[in-house]
Amino acid sequence: MTEEKEEKKEKGKFIVERHYIEDERIIEPEKLDLGGVDASGRWGLLVLPRVIEDVDPTIKEEVKKLPRGKHIDNCWQCGLCTAVCPVSHKNPNFNPRYFIYIVKMGYISEIKKLKDFIYLCQGCGLCTEACPKHVDPSGVMMALNIFFDRI
Amino acid sequence: MSEFIFSYHFLLPFHLVLLIISVLLFLNRIKSWKVKNYYIILITNLFKKDFSLKNKIKAIIDVMVNDFLALKRAGALCEENLHFYGRFLTLYGFLGVAILNVLNFLINPMGMKLGFYNLITILSYAANSSLTIGAAMLIYRRMSRINLRRTTDSGIWILQSLLLLFGLTNMIFMTFYNLGLTFESLYSYIAYIAVIAMMYIYFPLSEAGYFAWKAAHLLSHSLTKQEKVKI
């Protein structure tokens, strides 16, 4: 069991920002021969596309009605909020930029997957200080804390 | 008249009525968010027999100590002293004032003068100073940062100002009262209870209401062992 876990952890370890990709989407063939060329292991690595079926682009409007969520539209995804976020450094699944992205796009299935991580927000406001578009990511996280509970 | 409003014959119904209004406003706010009322879920979970009493107490203590008292979900990890100590002082100051008020009620229900050298007075000064300094730090932090100041909505300014005024008016009143200045203490006391009334009304409508909801959310999840992710 431990070996199996270790193997899973090792899978796709050379991928940059590996934590964004679920284990199930990574295929790393143990043995693969492509016309005489050995493409086993990381040489034959495939990352399956992410399929999002559950989409509702209107959820952003709901977030805008919640306390401190009104500036979510200003976000241009520069990622400065995530770069300065101390929680994000400790747990990469807490990613303010990505949370705003999935809400603006209306990716319900992604929200369901990540919604428990939103409650890690410390509300320190470092992201708000860094944001060049005055989105108030700290406030938006508060609105998302409330909104994600509905999903 | 002053004797009446200083005594708990006035204070007890005053707090009770405002508390009921505050709870109703809070419940209405939760309803407007269209989220679950975790206080009801929490109470239901407490009486469920799925988990032993020991496990329930353990889960509650864990959330209360780590998330609440150690501020692990409210600033402890933000690596910024001004913010962390601001919240720390405000939280502990506020808790201190609340506990000391209850203690004072139990040992001094008529609201008699305790004097400057009484332990409750000394601790009350300490708690109120902590609250005032903490609130002042939080206000200063928001005012001194351009982006933070620009995006801060009026609700946060009001909340932090109320906390600051609460600590200040309480200290001013205590000083006048213990000095025996009847008129000054009466006016400062009216200001103090006016701030308390505003806090009761405003807290459920502010970020404090959100924190109260979040605390119940985390607690009820920890009781059902669907604990939220930890760092």
Average pLDDT, chain A: 86
In angstroms, rounded to a whole number, what is the distance separating the alpha carbons of residues A123 and A86?
Answer: 11
Q: Is the ipTM of this complex over 0.90?
A: no
pLDDT for the residue numbered A1 = 46
Count of Cβ atoms closer than 10 Å to residue B186 Cβ: 17
In angstroms, rounded to a whole number, what is the distance separating the alpha carbons of residues B165 and A150?
Answer: 36
Which ranges constitute the DSSP H helices of A11-150? 59-65, 80-84, 86-90, 96-105, 108-114, 126-130, 137-150
pLDDT in tens, A54-99: 888 899 999 999 988 889 999 999 999 999 998 888 888 899 999 9
Token pair listed for B189: 């006391």
CB half-sphere exposure, A67, CA atoms < 13 A: 21
In angstroms, rounded to a whole number, what is the distance separating the alpha carbons of residues B163 and B202?
Answer: 11
Count of Cβ atoms closer than 10 Å to residue B61 Cβ: 12
Instruction: Please name the residue of chain A whose CA is at the shortest distance from the CA of residue B147.
Output: A129
Q: Do the Cβ atoms of A121 and B73 come within 8 Å?
A: yes
Q: Return the higher-pLDDT residue of A137 and B109.
A: A137
The C-alpha R_g of chain A, in whole angstroms, comes to 18
DSSP lists the bridge partners of residue A55 as A107
Residue B28, classified by CB atoms within 10 Å of its CB into exposed (0-12), middle (13-18) or buried (19+), is: exposed
pLDDT for the residue numbered B1 = 59
Nearest to B19 by CA among B168, B221, B154, B212: B212
Taking only residues 110 to 149 of chain A, the set having a beta carbon closer than 8 angstroms to any beta carbon of chain B reads 116-117, 119-126, 128-131, 134-136, 139, 142, 145-146, 149
Instruction: Please name the residue of chain B whose CA is at the shortest distance from the CA of residue A137.
Output: B151
Instruction: Please name the residue of chain A whose CA is at the shortest distance from the CA of residue B205.
Output: A67
Residue with tokens 């919604």: A115
pLDDT for the residue numbered B171 = 93
User: In chain B, which stretches have pLDDT less than 70?
Assistant: 1-3, 225-231
Q: What is the largest CA-CA distance in chain B?
A: 58
Taking only residues 2 to 31 of chain A, the set having a beta carbon closer than 8 angstroms to any beta carbon of chain B reads none
Token pair listed for B198: 């505003």
C-alpha distance from B10 to closest chain A C-alpha (Å): 35
Count of Cβ atoms closer than 10 Å to residue B160 Cβ: 24
In angstroms, rounded to a whole number, what is the distance separating the alpha carbons of residues A10 and B201?
Answer: 55
Percentage of residues of chain A with pLDDT beyond 70? 94
Q: Do the Cβ atoms of A149 and B147 come within 8 Å?
A: no
Nearest to A130 by CA among A93, A74, A78: A78
CB half-sphere exposure, B84, CA atoms < 13 A: 13
Which pairing describes strands A37-38 and A33-34: parallel, antiparallel, or unpaired?
Answer: antiparallel
Q: Do the Cβ atoms of B147 and A117 come within 8 Å?
A: no
Cα torsion B75, B76, B80, B86 to 10°: value is 60
Q: Do the Cβ atoms of A128 and B35 come within 8 Å?
A: no
In this prediction the pTM is 0.82
DSSP string, A26-44: EE--SS-EETTEE--GGGG
Residue with tokens 């559950």: A54
Q: How far apart are the first and last CA of chain B?
A: 55
